[in-house]
Amino acid sequence: MNFVEQTNKSFSNMNDTTAIEAKKQADKKAIKFIVILFILYILFSQGNLFMFSVMTPSGRFYNPYIAEHFDYIQGLKSALIKPAVWIIKLFGFYAIHNEMDVLIINGPYLRINYSCLGLGVMSFLAAFVLAFPAPWKSTFKMLFIGLITIYILNILRIAGLGVLFAFFQSQRNYFEYHHEIFNVIVYIIIFIMLYIWIKKNTRKVSL
């Protein structure tokens, strides 16, 4: 074997070793991402459920002080209900509301429960974005845009249901799966946003 052949063989071995190491590193990063994603999702989703119990009088872990001063769940309800009622009024309907209900005169009665808040979708988005290895500036930007997107879509869902049932009163008892439909639509939109975000950040890393 001459010198050129030995050199080529050495380079080939080095390339093979580099490729194997790169694959190992990629596998480690993928496993780390999945583990962090799972932990954060459980932490966020179950944490919200626990806080809901803490801030609900009938909850197992109810705490009056926290419920009075740190009730962010009620804050989110109000932040959804008020703009939704405003949109409903734009369509010519008169609507009144309290802390968790929307009543449209000569129209439907809507109750905004915990399951209506979109906290499950928000928990998944937050866990995914924080677990993905991207620059912090890009991470917080995506987190902010994603949460705002879910919030706006939820307002439109509540307002849309109010307007739809006000126009088509006969359909009030036949649209029982709006939670599921909303979740599917939001997850599709979020996955598209995450795909674009991941592709952009992956390209930056490779460059």
**pLDDT per residue as tens digits for the range 81-95:** 999 999 999 998 999
Q: Is the pLDDT of residue 132 over 90?
A: yes
Q: How confident is the model at residue 207 (pLDDT cuts 50, 70, 90)?
A: very low
Confidence of residue 4 (pLDDT cuts 50, 70, 90): very low
Q: Please give the helix or strand (H or E) that residue 40 lies within, else none.
A: helix 3-54
pLDDT value at position 15?
54
Choose between 165 and 100: higher pLDDT. Answer: 100
pLDDT at 167: 81
Cα dist from 192 to 43, 140, 169, whole Å: 24, 18, 34
Instruction: Note the pLDDT of residue 12.
Output: 54
Q: Which residue do the tokens 């989703």 mark?
A: 45
Tokens of 67: 């419920």
Residue 74 Cα distances to 63, 106, 167, angstroms: 15, 27, 29
* Averaged confidence pLDDT in the chain: 84
Q: Which of 58, 116, 115 is nearest to 84 (CA)?
A: 116
pLDDT band with cut points at 50, 70 and 90 for residue 196: very high
Residue 17's pLDDT is 60
Cα separation, 148 vs 97, in Å, equals: 23
In the block, which residue shows the tokens 């740190």?
70
What distance in Å separates the CA atoms of residue 93 and residue 49, rounded to the nearest whole number? Answer: 34
pLDDT tens profile 6-24: 544 554 555 556 767 767 7
- What is the rounded distance in angstroms from the CA atom of residue 116 to the CA atom of residue 5? 68
- pLDDT level of residue 42 (50, 70, 90 thresholds): very high
Contact in structure between 129 and 146 (CB atoms under 8 Å): yes
**In the predicted model, is pLDDT for residue 178 greater than 60?**
yes
β-strands 95-97, 101-104 pairing: antiparallel
Q: Cα–Cα distance between 130 and 34 in angstroms, integer?
A: 11
Residue among 52, 54, 118 at smallest CA distance from 84: 118
- Ranges 134-148, 162-176, 179-193: which has the least confidence: 162-176
pTM exceeding the 0.75 threshold for the entire prediction? yes
Q: What are phi and psi of 104, to 5 degrees?
A: -100, 120
How far is it, in rounded angstroms, from Cα 63 to Cα 104?
33
pLDDT score for 117: 92
pLDDT band at 27 (very low <50, low <70, confident <90, very high): confident
